[in-house]
A and B are shown apart, each in its own frame.
Chain A
Amino acid sequence: MWTYMIRRILYAIPILIGVNTLTFLLFFIVNSPDDMARMHLGSKHVTQAEIMAWKKAEGYDKPLFYNSDKTGFVKFTDTLYATKSLKLFTFQFGISDSGRDISNDIYQRMWPSLAIAIPSLIVGLFFDITVAMLLAFFRGTYLDFTGVSICVILMSISSLFYIMGGQFIIAKLLRLVPISGYEPGIGAIKFLILPVLIGIVSGVGSGARWYRTIFLEEINKDYVRTARAKGLSEQKVFFTHILKNAMLPILTGIVAVLPLLFMGSLILESFFGIPGLGSYTIDAIRMQDFDIVRVMVFLGTVLYILGLVLTDISYVLVDPRVRLK
């Protein structure tokens, strides 16, 4: 397994370089360093000399990939790409164009994101599995048909609708929780109830339907028939046998998204005023802050690859038939 993991990590390096280069190219196709300077200096009274001074101060006065003014290998190292993007591989995130320490900002902002993401995932998973098992238990009945129909309806509704509807009904009409906001520590609970509830409800349609399919697949297997033939109660069959075996695809699916949880949710955090990481990248793109964009894309890639590796490992852990070579 260790050889496999080392191989996967080595595979990740060209992927990271590729994503990094692509981000760099896309960003600078849309925004030139001059545009970035104008964005930061404001559009009024700004002269070309001031733009040049800003670019020099922020290190954007270098050529993108090849510095013909230099000699030898420095032609490649004294470039924007080398100075800005390659440093990331040493996890030196540096300072954003607005002068803030990026590592510090990420550290501060990941906790509120996790505060929504973790309860949404755990409670949502429990709720989805419960509904899915209920539908699977009553398979082929009106309850199953109605449940699946409701799931399809829930899946078809935009998450924005859930957010606005939830805020309107729960926070505005019933006045049970704040419409938006955040507080660190225990005080966060009252602000998290609604976004977590909305996260769960908006995900139950797809989650319950998927898990129902997994349960139905298991229900028709031989070992379940054997269990029933032994005279086990339906309760025992479901909870001891079907649930255990169905958890394999469910858990591996969840492990893949675990590392990405801390990247936050853009819409949910924006509407609920949660100071998380969800909008960090989008805000940076809007403010043309390349330093933040490159870090967040790099981090996203690393976490995605980590998620895939963890999925592979989780297969080995939960299914003794799987071996990584």
Chain B
Amino acid sequence: MSFLVLGMIGCDQVWNNPHESDNLDEKVGYSSFSEPPKTLDPAKSYSADEIRFTAQIYEPLLQYDYLKRPYTLEPLTAAALPKIEYLNEKGEVLPENAAGNQVAFSRYDITIKPNIYYYPHPAFAKKQGGEFNYHQMNEVELEEIDELNDFAITSTRELMAEDYIYEIKRLADPRVSSPIYGVMSQYIVGMSEFHDEILDLMKKNLTIDLRKHEISGLKSDDPHHLIITLKGKYPQFGYWLAMIFFSPVPWEVDQFYSQRGLGEHNLTLGWFPVGTGPYYLAENNPNHRMVLKENPFYQRDYYPVVSDDPNDTKKGYLQNAGKKLPLVRKFIFSLEKESIPRWNKFLQGYYDSSSISSDSFDQAIRIDENGVPDLTPELKDHGIRLETVVSPSIFYMGFNMLDPVVGGNSEKNKKLRQAIAAVIDFNEYIAIFNNGRGLAAQGPIPPGIFGYVNDKNPLTQVSLEQAKQLLSEAGYPNGRDEHSGQPLLLNYDAPSSSGPDDKARFDWMRKQFAKLNIELNIRSTEYNRFQENMRTGAEQIFMWGWNADYPDPENFLFLLYGPNGKVKYGGENAANYSNSEFDQLFERMKNMQNSDERAAIIQKMINIVRDDAPWLFGVFPKDYVLDHQWMSPVKMNVIANNTLKFVDLDAPLRAKLISRWNRPRIWPIMVMISLLLIFLIPVIISYIRRENTAIKKVK
């Protein structure tokens, strides 16, 4: 024991390194994830927890420029941005600026870069005769397989346009249940017919090979040429082409994974993706850790050399300009369900970057007298950097416009909504519940998206007296019904998070309504019931959020478009708002390129919504990210997900600092052991005495 302790004291190594490799000076990135991914199948995966992995593995046709703002699309595996042709019903080509109602079809002509290869995988392995090694394995062969490394032979092949077509067919395949089939089938010509065809084959229990069935809107006359035909005009389709849903899936891989027996070892496309991206998934244990390693066939990508923004150079975002990507060869993501251990490991240097949970906010950030966030001295001493960015999301408070009390287009009900909008202080909400991480929204479009307006919503400038006046005009003087004299009681529907913040949040909300003497009844339910209430229109007032799919105002304004109402049409317009003028403007705006004219239309639409007040615009959340000093400066890109390839780190510096920060402290343990021994001495003495005590004679 003494030797062990002495050995430990003499040892200069850290003992608390949680990573399997003790070589912290290797260029390996360490990060964490809090929710295990559900699937990594590109046709199904939709959540951020999954996309952080799939976006490094799969490559759609397009991507977002890493440095450019506002967010701009650029080719990824495509040789250039798609050439778009608009056609009328007769198939005649229309001018580029043709109005949406004239366009019957849009044709996207895409050329794919040659010499792009998948990472080596057994699905591609072929025998000399051209037969696949592992596509028809028998039970004996399958029994020997536990993991992908058990396959002796791997191979690769070049990316082809057919691989994108195959994935789009998977989006329409009823067996895959892709969440975007509903949206895409409205646009891609022949997609719903293909879906029905497969459904028919399924009913007949026939073997289905997707290659033998065609979607009429997809063509490839050359291995590197792809044509996608859409119904009508849909300029936002380009953004979809940058999403993981539109990643290439080789038919060989799908056929390989469809073998019975591989699934029993969790060897499926959903768990072991095969892509052409900078990384491949070398280890997939969603309950423990995920490991991304550099794809040896990824040869073509370089860090951007120039930026439009002069601040990018100042901030060091161009320090890796021209270097071959990816910059780090391996990333290890460990599952950390609890925020406290995750935060402490970040402080010890074992994670390179971290977000800030509410529990740790005070340890990390202090707000100066001007309201500007800054790091605490402890974090500054560690050389940690803070990056902040407003995320393309909104948390809004909505009124159910179908509700007889708060909804509808009547002047009285509108004034009631306006009065409420005037008194709810979202700046206070952000300060109390978001640690100041957010902006009080003045409209539905967040900063960074075309059409964002930063002028104040006139309703937020209304004084309390004016709000009371509005309420009185709405028929509720001093919060009471002018006819019955009964107090006005409104219902606030909210999903319960079962967290400690719920009560405080609800109390705060009650207080806001109490400014107008309105009683607020909180109807807190679990999320499933809340969603059901929203679908059936049973809610009255609610708070909900939206995270952008792509950086276009259409993706926010469609949340208020009448034909997108949740109750009537099952759409995403949860407030069930309908205003014909707004709807007409939306239909014009959605097919336009960004221009002054489009901006003017959006401003008009925002003014309409501000006046009708179906929403209280709520909060644009702000993301705070902390980076250790050994990390290269990373420009936060909240729309693009494939940014891991731009990350660099100074591993020797990390190893040096971790060693300095984590020297074990032995002396308290020595003191404790000594105290225990001291305590045991009288116990032992007492024991010996008792053992040696002679029986006393009783006189």
Asked whether B237 is an interface residue with its Cβ less than 8 Å from the other chain, the reply is: no
CB neighbours (8 Å) of A190 from chain B are 15
CB neighbours (8 Å) of B686 from chain A are 138, 143
Q: Decide if B16 touches A175 in the complex (CB within 8 Å).
A: yes
CB neighbours (8 Å) of A42 from chain B are 46-47, 179
By beta carbon, the residue of chain B nearest A134 is B683
A179 to B338, CA, bound (A): 11
A45 to B178, CA, bound (A): 11
How near does chain B come to A46, taking the closest CB pair, in angstroms? 6
Q: Decide if B338 touches A270 in the complex (CB within 8 Å).
A: yes
CB neighbours (8 Å) of A100 from chain B are 266, 271
A176 to B16, CA, bound (A): 6
CB neighbours (8 Å) of A48 from chain B are 570
A272 to B340, CA, bound (A): 10
Q: In the complex where A42-B46, A233-B691 touch, is A98 in contact with B38 (Cβ < 8 A)?
A: yes
Q: Decide if B663 touches A47 in the complex (CB within 8 Å).
A: no
Taken residue by residue from 84 to 106, chain A's Cβ proximity to chain B (1 for < 8 Å, 0 otherwise) reads as: 00000000000100111101110
Q: Decide if B15 touches A177 in the complex (CB within 8 Å).
A: yes
14 contacts between A and B (CB under 8 A): A45-B572, A50-B177, A53-B177, A99-B39, A101-B264, A103-B264, A109-B287, A174-B664, A176-B664, A177-B15, A178-B16, A179-B16, A180-B345, A273-B334
Top 4 A-B pairs ranked by shortest CB distance?
A181-B18, A47-B182, A178-B18, A275-B288
Q: 8 Å CB contacts to A: which residues of B618-633?
A: none
Interface of B is mostly: loop
By beta carbon, the residue of chain A nearest B547 is A44
A219 to B526, CA, bound (A): 55
CB neighbours (8 Å) of A179 from chain B are 16, 18, 341, 344-345, 348
Q: Decide if A271 touches B270 in the complex (CB within 8 Å).
A: no
Asked whether A220 is an interface residue with its Cβ less than 8 Å from the other chain, the reply is: no
Asked whether B549 is an interface residue with its Cβ less than 8 Å from the other chain, the reply is: yes
CB neighbours (8 Å) of B236 from chain A are none
Additional A-B contacts beyond A101-B263, A101-B264, A177-B15 (14; CB < 8 A): A42-B46, A57-B177, A101-B265, A103-B264, A171-B16, A174-B666, A175-B16, A178-B17, A179-B344, A181-B18, A270-B338, A273-B335, A273-B336, A275-B285
A168 to B359, CA, bound (A): 14
> Which of B18, B265, B687 has the largest count of A CB atoms less than 10 A from its CB?
B18
Q: Decide if B570 touches A234 in the complex (CB within 8 Å).
A: no
Asked whether B662 is an interface residue with its Cβ less than 8 Å from the other chain, the reply is: yes
CB neighbours (8 Å) of B549 from chain A are 44
Q: Decide if B344 touches A143 in the complex (CB within 8 Å).
A: no
Choice from B263, B270, B665 contacting A175 with Cβ under 8 Å: B665
CB neighbours (8 Å) of A45 from chain B are 179-180, 182-183, 572
Q: 8 Å CB contacts to A: which residues of B176-232?
A: 177-183
Asked whether B315 is an interface residue with its Cβ less than 8 Å from the other chain, the reply is: no
A57 to B195, CA, bound (A): 14
Q: In the complex where A104-B265, A175-B15, A275-B285 touch, is A54 in contact with B177 (Cβ < 8 A)?
A: yes
Q: Decide if A176 touches B264 in the complex (CB within 8 Å).
A: no
Q: In the complex where A95-B263, A174-B669, A179-B344 touch, is A46 in contact with B16 (Cβ < 8 A)?
A: no
CB neighbours (8 Å) of A172 from chain B are 344, 348
CB neighbours (8 Å) of B18 from chain A are 178-181, 191, 273
Q: Decide if B570 touches A47 in the complex (CB within 8 Å).
A: yes
CB neighbours (8 Å) of B263 from chain A are 95, 99, 101
Number of chain A residues whose Cβ lies closer than 8 Å to a Cβ of chain B: 64
Q: Decide if B264 touches A183 in the complex (CB within 8 Å).
A: no
A103 to B662, CA, bound (A): 40
Q: 8 Å CB contacts to B: which residues of A51-104?
A: 53-54, 56-57, 95, 98-101, 103-104
Q: Decide if B15 touches A167 in the complex (CB within 8 Å).
A: no
A32 to B337, CA, bound (A): 27
CB neighbours (8 Å) of A35 from chain B are 528, 531-532
By beta carbon, the residue of chain B nearest A55 is B177
A279 to B287, CA, bound (A): 10
A98 to B662, CA, bound (A): 39
Choice from A40, A104, A233, A283 contacting B36 with Cβ under 8 Å: A283
Q: Decide if A38 touches B665 in the complex (CB within 8 Å).
A: no
Choice from B20, B268, B669 contacting A99 with Cβ under 8 Å: B268
Asked whether A26 is an interface residue with its Cβ less than 8 Å from the other chain, the reply is: no
Q: 8 Å CB contacts to B: which residues of A173-198?
A: 173-183, 187, 190-191
Asked whether A49 is an interface residue with its Cβ less than 8 Å from the other chain, the reply is: yes
Asked whether B174 is an interface residue with its Cβ less than 8 Å from the other chain, the reply is: yes
CB neighbours (8 Å) of A104 from chain B are 264-266
A236 to B664, CA, bound (A): 43
Asked whether A287 is an interface residue with its Cβ less than 8 Å from the other chain, the reply is: yes
Q: Decide if B17 touches A44 in the complex (CB within 8 Å).
A: no
CB neighbours (8 Å) of B20 from chain A are 183, 187
A297 to B526, CA, bound (A): 22
Taken residue by residue from 520 to 541, chain B's Cβ proximity to chain A (1 for < 8 Å, 0 otherwise) reads as: 0000001010011000000000
How near does chain A come to B454, taking the closest CB pair, in angstroms? 27
CB neighbours (8 Å) of B336 from chain A are 180, 273
CB neighbours (8 Å) of B532 from chain A are 35
Asked whether A41 is an interface residue with its Cβ less than 8 Å from the other chain, the reply is: yes
Q: Decide if B287 touches A53 in the complex (CB within 8 Å).
A: no
CB neighbours (8 Å) of B665 from chain A are 173-176
Q: Decide if A57 touches B662 in the complex (CB within 8 Å).
A: no
How near does chain A come to B604, taking the closest CB pair, in angstroms? 27
Q: 8 Å CB contacts to B: which residues of A134-189?
A: 134, 137-138, 143, 164, 167-168, 171-183, 187
By beta carbon, the residue of chain B nearest A101 is B264
Asked whether A3 is an interface residue with its Cβ less than 8 Å from the other chain, the reply is: no
Asked whether A23 is an interface residue with its Cβ less than 8 Å from the other chain, the reply is: no
Q: 8 Å CB contacts to B: which residues of A229-256?
A: 233-235
Q: Decide if A164 touches B38 in the complex (CB within 8 Å).
A: no
Q: Decide if B265 touches A175 in the complex (CB within 8 Å).
A: no
CB neighbours (8 Å) of B526 from chain A are 30
A48 to B182, CA, bound (A): 9
Choice from A31, A44, A180 contacting B572 with Cβ under 8 Å: A44
By beta carbon, the residue of chain A nearest B682 is A143
Q: In the complex where A174-B669, A234-B690 touch, is A44 in contact with B288 (Cβ < 8 A)?
A: no
